[in-house]
Amino acid sequence: MKRSHQIILTGLLTLVFIVWQAPASLIGAVLRQASHDAWDLADAEGTLWNGRGVVTGRRDKDPRQVSLPPLGWKFGGFQNGGLLFQMQAHGQPVGDVQIGWNGWKAQLRGLTVEARDLTPLLPGILNKGEWQGLLSFQQISAQGDRHAMRISQIDMEWLNAATSLMPQGALGSFALKGHSEAAGVSFSITSQDGPLTLAGQGSHSAQQGFQFTGELTDKAGLASQFPGFLGDYLQPTGAPNHYTLRISQLNL
């Protein structure tokens, strides 16, 4: 083999080795760039191809940090012209992430997190609520590129919900479905059981603020405890303990 060919081959093998051994911490750099420093990867171990870490984030200038459950990933081959990574949480498979030249796509399921751990991400007075209960994510679908997330859909349950915003803060359990794009977020919520029966749809954007319209039945007299910013939006329908909850352009 000619010396020039040996040099080229050695260089290619060295490059492959460097890429294969690239540290998992590089994912944190990508997250920071795509989220404008809102999200990061802490406690990164392993490589880009087989590793683990904890996704952390914070809202605006709030000093409180949010930590999601530890996630692991492993290279699973090629799919549709991209790299496929199998994801795990608590030792169980939770979906996959596909990365290609045109961006990335994630399909996750079965993730759980305590509501109090995500409280700092909520806007305005809502992040003072010390929310409780278990958030169970049945499905999370998202896609984007290295600059931003373009579309995301979430199907989740909030089990045994409670808040410190009211003296008797137990609210029950709820099912939520959400969809977000660059313009904002839209969502629907329905109650499963508990002292409040609620069904409605809402949205949040920088231009329109927070908006929500729904029907609420109060089985335990909780409506009188609602904080002022929320209680003012309850409109009795004439039926016992039944209200219309209509919020328009609320700046959270």
Query: What residue segments make up the domains of the chain, in order of their start?
Result: 102-250
pLDDT at 204: 85
* Radius of gyration in angstroms for the set of CA atoms belonging to the chain, rounded to a whole number: 23
State which residues of the chain have pLDDT below 50: 17
d(CA 221, CA 196): 9
pLDDT at 229: 57
pLDDT at 230: 65
From first CA to last CA, the distance across the chain in angstroms is 69
pLDDT at 8: 59
pLDDT at 218: 87
This prediction's pTM: 0.80
Q: What CA–CA distances, in Å, run from 109 to 95, 96, 142, 156?
A: 6, 9, 12, 9
pLDDT at 4: 58
Task: Give the model confidence (pLDDT) of 223-237 as tens digits.
Answer: 777 766 566 788 888
DSSP string, 121-134: GS-GGGGGS--EEE
Task: Give the model confidence (pLDDT) of 146-199 as tens digits.
Answer: 677 777 899 999 999 988 777 777 888 999 999 987 778 899 999 978 888 899
